Amino acid sequence: MKAGYDSYRMFGFNRNFKITERKPPPDVVDFFSLCTNGESQMSPNQFRRFLIEFQGESGDDAQRQMEQALHLFRPNFNRCFFTLDEFFTFLFLDDLNGPITSQVHHDMTAPLQHYFIYTGHNSYLTGNQLNSDCSVVPIITALQRGVRVIELDLWPNSAKDGIHVLHGRTLTTPVTLYKCLKSIKEHAFVNSPYPVIITLEDHLTRNLQAKVAGMVTEIFGDMLYCPKVGGSDEFLSPEALKHRVILSTKQPKEYLESKQMGGESSPIVGRDLFEVELFVGEDASSSFKDGTATYERINSNQDDDEDEDVENEKPDQKAAPVYNQLIGIHSGKAKNGLRKALVVGLGKGKRLSLSEQALERAASLYGTNIIRFTQKNILRVFPKGSRVTSTNFRPLTAWMHGAQMVASNMQGYGRSLWMMHGMFRSNGGCGYVKKPDFLMSRGPNNEVFDPKTTLPVKKTLRVKVYMGDGWRIDFSRTHFDAYSPPDFYTKLYMVGVPADVTKKKTRVIEDDWMPIWDEEFTFPLRVPELALLKIVVREHDTSEKDAFGGQTCLPVSELKTGIRTISLHNKKGEKLASVKLLLRFVFE
């Protein structure tokens, strides 16, 4: 970028500001000189050496990146050597020099409970929880981003002969179940080949359950996973369930009653994945004034999503067994309290579902019991009912206790959702992240990881923030300040276990579209496996709230060492076209 001048008009006068020329920071110059022995050009072998020794790339990855860089520059320069400017240009290419790998690299052959799974909440809503439209669009968007658990609320239509998807007891406008299922089939595996789980929150009559069974069978066909009779009671692996769709819902009420009475109802098909589900603090009633102004929520031991009895209807004895046979993961309700439900070894596979408040209380009282439970079973945590604007809770407590499904309102935005995006950038963005070994292991005395224990520092991350660029391309000249170029600074937040949480901040660079900070920060980490590095750029304003300039969140366990380019995103998590930071990561 050539130097020039940027003119701003203030009080009738023009003010000119010099535009900074983009040039490599001193560290980049030093690395180039060291690799080339002071020469003005870098050979392919010297470039490959830089990638291996300074960037920490493996031999194969270094060879691939070298070939990509040569292919990129050869059409323009018709030679195989890099100048310093070309070398610097390569470092600023996020697709070739990003901070994390884009390939799936975790072991995908362990049972499902060994993974954090990208999970949506009320996946059909376009906005708030009260009166927004229900649509297939947010479902498609979530699948395209790698979300693997889609949640649908099923309700009878007004004629009681069809099935709508909507948020019950609200003014949300419905979308048909058929459209939702068709959209899931068409987009389930565009981003990831690993299984999609559909949680059906069923408020249907028995006859309508039979309609669901027919609809699901027609749409998904062989894609639908149906456990085999007499199969293992263990969860299968993501690898074994590739390109499969799994239904998760409660067993039909009359089926459970038949079992309790010793009846001869249709047998459970395959694995007896009876899931224990505890509902705490969710909706019992709602009331509205002028549509959205008043929304009363009463805490009870019911969940408005999955604990509704079907409406009174003459039983259709064939409906429930057919419906039940299509359920790959059964959900239920804990009737004897949370503590008993957490006891591992009672029955076969279980899934426990908790509200965010219930998880916080359980974590404070018997957190290690939760971890023992999640070593063999699945735990789902969902947002509290009062989050009517589709905000989200911080997911770290759930992850620290091994919860596999942390349900988030993907249509919202905010810091908690940024963390979710960050976690699931791991493992090539496939939607399944292998849990750290310490969450799945036990000691010689059957002890498990205790999130309350203060651990020693395991490793230290050093982050050097060199510079940023691209705002001048993606934003209007007066977006940040009507009278002068922006005053940018960067904040770095380490989020994870409480002992690892900290934040740092660069100085403010005034009147510059291309800020150069060249500052280094140190982050001691006790549990780096669960740490996320959140990066936010803001524009300093002395009279108003500082303006937002971009953000990203990165899993520390996946960070590549060396000098890397970080793309920034808007508040909704959408990648900005041009805005990037140049940073260096070093682990000690």
Q: Tell me the catalytic residues.
A: 121, 167
Q: Which residue has the tokens 């070593």?
A: 375
Q: Please, where are the H alpha helices in 100-232?
A: 137-144, 177-187, 206-220
Radius of gyration of the chain (CA): 27
User: Can you point out the beta strands (E) in 94-192?
Assistant: 115-120, 149-156, 163-165, 175-176
- E strands, 421-544, where? 432-434, 459-469, 488-495, 502-505, 516-525, 532-539
Helix, strand, coil share of the chain (percent; to 5): 25, 25, 45
Q: Write out the two tokens for 185.
A: 């089939």
| Among 46, 23, 22, 17, CA closest to 33 | 46
Query: Nearest-CA neighbor of 313 among 414, 210, 178?
Result: 210
Query: Rounded to the nearest 5°, which phi and psi values hold at 205?
Result: -75, 170
Nearest-angstrom CA–CA distance, 410 and 133: 15
- The answer to whether the beta carbons of residues 111 and 234 sit under 8 Å apart is yes
Cα 584 to Cα 522: distance, rounded to the nearest angstrom: 12
* Entry field: residues in the chain: 588
